[in-house]
Every structure is written in C-alpha cells, then in structure tokens.
C-alpha cells in the first residue's frame, strides 16, 4: 500500500546535512548543516564559486557519496543503500557531469555509451530504437551512433552525456556544471537542449553552476552556496532583483555586462 505522505513529500529533503573530506587530523568541511527541499517538477539552480560545496551537493543528491552528518530523504524515504533499491533510485535520478570526455568511455561507441545505463539498470527496452530516439532528442545525427567520443566536439559529447542520462527515463536530472567546460559559442546551444528536454519530459532539474547568468536562464529558483552553507534561497527573479546576502550581491556584480 502506498504511503499516504508519498505524494505530498518533497522530492528531496536535506536535513542538517554536512560533509567532510579527509581524516580526523586534517579535514575540509565541504557542506555545513544544509537544509534544503526540492519539490517535484522544480527547476532549481545551485550557484556559488569554486569550493562552495556545489559538486559535493550534486554527488550527495545522486547517492555517489554519503553525508558525514544529517539526513537526505528522497520521496520521504532515506536514500537507498541496498542494491535493488539503489537500482530503482538510479532509474529515477540521473546526473550529467562537467567534463563529457572524462565521463564517456573512450572504448565504447556513442550508441553503446547511451545504451549502457539501460543494460546496467535492467530496463526492458528496444535499445537500438531508444538510442536513435535519444540522439534525435539531443540534436545529433543517427550516424553518430557508430562514432567514438574522440570523433565528436565537446558540445556533441555533452549532448551524448545528456542522452545517456535520459536513457533510463528518469524523473530527475542533476546537472553539475554541465556547460562550464564548453566554448561560449556552444554553451547556449547545450543549455537550450537541457531546458527544452526538461520542459518536454516534465523533469525535475537541479542545475549546478558558478555562472549566475546561466542559472537565471534555466532556473525558476536559486539557492546560493557560500563556504558550504546556504546564504540565499528564493525565486530566481527575486534573487536577481532583490538579493539579500552580500555574497549574492557580489556574484551579481561580477556578471559581465555589455557596454
């Protein structure tokens, strides 16, 4: 029987989550008592400079690392640890990393890379048809199926990474600096692909970036991280027009402006 609180529960809820890197004698506090809720269907931007804890938060959300303290709930339940439950979680929540060349296996063709999570997660699917469908969805030619990562441009590789993340038909996409490694001319194209697919597929999006202008383009809500703590959390336009924290104001002042 379905838990009656399931439908009303936040998608993610972080309760006083902290994360330490290192040992007892020398450690770095990456996140410090974070409290955060993400509702189904939200497009939330997590923004902050390098070292603010953004990528750590991304890895915690997709259960690649465990918090040092506090609790993370997904649909009202603790993040799974047992294999079957973890497989089900990974069918629902997928991540796109910053560097598409590092995250794609150079020994696999593009088609094999996209198909990999379908096989790994035990999903019943017409794999060849699904791969071609995903290539079309991200704006790549069907012939890309037989190519290898080194034969594609950076923007094309990141489109492959997006296609691979969408292969299991997730409900949630976490994008960790997904356009920051790309040339400026390509960045907007890939960003528009993500925005379009999130809209078409009704996905929840957690978009992590150091670039305030990128976050404004794609997010309906902005969370600002500073030294591992949340210093601002509000609707995007409120954050941009009426920032409350000095660090947020400094980030906004640093956005390049055309003269």
Domain 40-64+81-253 has CATH 3.40.50.2300: no
Give 112-158 pLDDT, tens digit per residue: 999 999 999 999 999 999 999 999 999 999 999 999 999 999 999 99
For tokens 């259960």, name the residue: 63
Whether residue 1 has pLDDT greater than 60:
no
Asked if residue 45 lies in contact with residue 36, where contact means CB atoms within 8 angstroms, the answer is no
pLDDT score of 255:
84
Question: Residue ranges per domain, the chain?
Answer: 40-64+81-253
- Round to whole Å and give the CA distance between 86 and 129: 26
Whether residue 42 has pLDDT greater than 90:
yes
pLDDT score of 23:
67
Q: In terms of pLDDT, which residue wins out, 26 or 182? A: 182
pLDDT tier at 183, thresholds 50, 70, 90: confident
Q: Which helix (H) or strand (E) holds 226?
A: strand 221-226
* 80 secondary structure, DSSP code: P
pLDDT more than 90, % of the chain: 80
Q: What is the average per-residue pLDDT within 165-186?
A: 92
Closest CA to 30 of 62, 4, 3, 69: 69
pLDDT score of 35:
97
Whether residue 92 has pLDDT greater than 90:
yes
State pTM to two decimals: 0.91
């Amino acid at each position: 029987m379905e838990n009656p609180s399931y439908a009303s529960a936040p998608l993610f809820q972080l309760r006083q989550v902290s994360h330490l890197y290192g040992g007892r004698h020398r450690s770095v506090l990456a996140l410090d008592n974070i409290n955060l809720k993400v509702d189904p269907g939200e497009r939330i931007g997590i923004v902050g400079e390098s070292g603010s804890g953004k990528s750590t938060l991304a890895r915690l959300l997709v259960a690649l690392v465990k918090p040092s303290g506090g609790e993370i709930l997904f649909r009202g339940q603790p993040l799974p640890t047992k294999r079957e439950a973890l497989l089900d979680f990974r069918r629902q929540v997928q991540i796109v990393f910053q560097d598409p060349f590092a995250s794609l296996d150079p020994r696999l063709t593009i088609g094999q890379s996209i198909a990999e999570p379908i096989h790994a997660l035990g999903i019943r699917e017409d794999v060849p048809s699904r791969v071609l469908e995903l290539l079309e969805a991200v704006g790549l030619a069907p012939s890309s199926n037989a190519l290898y990562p080194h034969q594609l441009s950076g923007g094309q590789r990141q489109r492959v990474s997006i296609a691979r993340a969408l292969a299991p038909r997730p409900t949630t996409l976490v994008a960790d600096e997904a356009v920051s490694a790309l040339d400026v001319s390509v960045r907007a194209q890939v960003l528009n692909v993500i925005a379009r697919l999130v809209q078409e597929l009704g996905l929840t999006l957690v978009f992590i970036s150091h670039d305030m202008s990128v976050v404004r383009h794609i997010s309906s809500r902005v969370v600002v991280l500073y030294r591992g703590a949340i210093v601002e959390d509000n609707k995007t336009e409120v954050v941009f027009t009426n920032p409350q924290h000095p660090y947020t104001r400094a980030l906004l002042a640093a956005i390049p402006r055309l003269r």
